[in-house]
Amino acid sequence: MIEKTNLLSKVWSLRLTINKYISREIFSIFLVTLSIFIFIIMATRMMGITELLVNQRVNPWHVLKIILCLLPRVVIYSLPVSCLMCVLLTFLRLSSDNEVIAFNASGISLYQMLPPVIFFSFMSYLIASLIAIYGVPWGNRSYKDVIFRIIESTADVAVKERIFCEPFDDVVFYVNSFSARERTMKDLFVVDKRSKPNSNTIVAKRGKILSNRGAGMVTIYFIDGTIFSVDKDFKKARTVKFDTYDLNIDLKDIMSSIVSREKEPKEMFIGELIRNLKSTPEEVAENRQMGIKLFEMFSIPMAIFFMGIIGAPLGAHIRASGRTKGIVISLFVSLAYYVCLMSVRYICEMGVVAPSIGMWIPDLFLVITCIYLLYRAANDRPLIIFSRLPFRHVFTQQSIGTKADDQKVEQADTIEYIGSLKAGKFHRHDCRWAERISPEYRISFRSIQEASDKGYIPCNICKPSWIKNY
């Protein structure tokens, strides 16, 4: 009884050591991959952020707030590919170093190596759920608020040279030359439509933007220009020339579409989405958009969970040294998921499929892929779905048309079983694990009896003892 207890204790200790070993490998790669993808996505926005900081003289604290508000959305779309890549690279390294073979030779199957992967995927799922439910709506809403604060301090941020822009509601600007440092403009063309009875068109040689935060007012100071005023029926018009003219704009009018407007679906939390879905007719486009955002909060975190699981059988089955092919395959699978997600989102927006069904289609694709890969890898079967790809030799047991393969075929008639001096196990000559045994540890047998007499035990994967020896 004591011996049995000691044996069980050793088994559990071994499994705990293996789980810690795999977990440490996964988390170390995960932190690196997630940081890289966050940096890549944020780099696409850095030009605009740099312009705010350098050219528009925006407070660095506001710029930091903008980056912080963008992070939740960036992280939620970086997690799927990061989770897949870190697990795949972990098992790819274990496979290329023959550690997977050693585990199998010790009676540890792929399923027994999954607990750390499942734990990691579940933790990623919980983190992604919190970010999707709370972080993303907060970030989207806070981003608009920060932009408004920037406009309060530097109302000229939205003014661009030689571009028609509308920094204020119903006030259109065209500026031929603009100095952000001095906040001066040359050759201005401004159309003010805030007055309902008539509209005013102002043409001036020079101008300057003045901010009065105490009065909550922005003043556009025009020098040497003309005002063309026309009523809405175009029946009356007048022209006024001036040396100086002040156009006052209340800060409450500045980008009111950002602050005073109703929240967009991407800025709503779960409770707000549910309430608005109940009060909005199903045939309205806004109802479909809210449905998409609501179900995305649950479908994307679930996709992250399955992405992590998929990486284990995929990485364990790849025959490749180095991480380049693992990275390429991770990007390929992730791209397929993102394309599927974008396509389903478009179909749901068109009303072809209800969001409650359509947003789960990418997850269904991942579930089927996960089950298929686990079944094929655990039973040591080739991945048929990759058999026609240009890099199919990575997933197969042998390359086609090589001289070494021809020699293996010729030896198959004379060598029935292959043993490993290091692991103390023997395999069928066509077993996947037999092909991975290093030449210095390889030994050949003509029968099961010969292998057994020399103290070798049969492989748990190919099970040579089940095959009749002729």
* Secondary structure (H, E, C), 258-306: HHCCCCCHHHCCHHHHHHHHHHCCCCCHHHHHHHHHHHHHHHHHHHHHH
pLDDT of residue 157: 57
Instruction: Please provide the DSSP assignment of 393-432 as one string.
Output: GGTSSS-TT-HHHHHHHHHTTT--EEEETTT-EEEETT-H
CA nearest 377: which of 119, 112, 118? Answer: 112
Average pLDDT on 260-288 reads 81
**Residue 130 vs residue 52, higher pLDDT:** 130
Asked whether residue 135 carries a pLDDT value surpassing 50, the answer given is yes
Asked whether residue 375 carries a pLDDT value surpassing 90, the answer given is no
pLDDT of residue 204: 93
Phi, psi of 327 (to 5 degrees): -65, -40
Question: Which H helix or E strand runs over 189?
Answer: strand 184-192
**Residue 355 vs residue 402, higher pLDDT:** 355
**Residue 11 vs residue 218, higher pLDDT:** 218
pLDDT band at 259 (very low <50, low <70, confident <90, very high): very low
pLDDT of residue 408: 43
pLDDT band at 395 (very low <50, low <70, confident <90, very high): very low
Question: pLDDT tens across 423-468, in order?
Answer: 788 888 778 788 788 877 888 888 887 887 787 888 877 777 544 4
Look up residue 271 and give its two tokens. 């409770």
Average pLDDT on 18-44 reads 89
Asked whether residue 100 carries a pLDDT value surpassing 80, the answer given is no
pLDDT of residue 214: 54
Region of 57 please: left (phi>0), alpha (psi -120 to 50) or beta: left
pLDDT band at 7 (very low <50, low <70, confident <90, very high): low
Query: Distance between CA 439 and CA 458 in Å, rounded?
Result: 19
Average pLDDT on 150-165 reads 68
Question: pLDDT tens across 327-361, in order?
Answer: 787 888 889 999 999 999 999 988 888 898 999 99
CA nearest 168: which of 177, 180, 176, 159? Answer: 159
Phi, psi of 388 (to 5 degrees): -110, 5
Average pLDDT on 309-327 reads 74
Query: Distance between CA 291 and CA 371 in Å, rounded?
Result: 29
pLDDT of residue 283: 78
Query: Distance between CA 245 and CA 178 in Å, rounded?
Result: 18
pLDDT of residue 433: 80
pLDDT of residue 397: 42
Contact indicator for 184, 206 with CB cutoff of 8 Å: yes
Question: pLDDT tens across 275-305, in order?
Answer: 888 888 877 888 888 999 999 999 999 999 9
pLDDT of residue 299: 93
Q: What angle separates helix 60-96 from helix 285-317, to the nearest 10 degrees?
A: 40
The neighbour count for residue 161, using CB atoms within 10 Å, is: 14
Average pLDDT on 159-177 reads 80
The residue type of 223 is I
198-212 and 217-231 strand pairing: antiparallel
pLDDT band at 215 (very low <50, low <70, confident <90, very high): low
Least confident of 83-92, 126-135, 153-162, 176-185: 153-162
Which residue shows structure tokens 């092919």? 325
pLDDT band at 396 (very low <50, low <70, confident <90, very high): very low
Asked whether residue 384 carries a pLDDT value surpassing 70, the answer given is no
Asked whether residue 394 carries a pLDDT value surpassing 50, the answer given is no
457-458 and 425-428 strand pairing: parallel
pLDDT of residue 8: 64
Asked whether residue 250 carries a pLDDT value surpassing 50, the answer given is yes
Average pLDDT on 16-45 reads 88
pLDDT of residue 300: 94
pLDDT of residue 224: 92
Contact indicator for 85, 304 with CB cutoff of 8 Å: no
Q: Is the dihedral of CA 378, 380, 386, 392 positive or negative?
A: positive
Please give the mean pLDDT across all residues of the chain.
Answer: 79
Average pLDDT on 233-255 reads 78
Instruction: Report the share of the chain in percent with pLDDT over 90.
Output: 24
Q: CA of 386: how far to CAs of 9, 222, 335, 342, 373, in Å?
A: 41, 68, 16, 24, 11
pLDDT of residue 279: 86
CA dihedral 97, 98, 100, 103 (to 10 degrees): -120
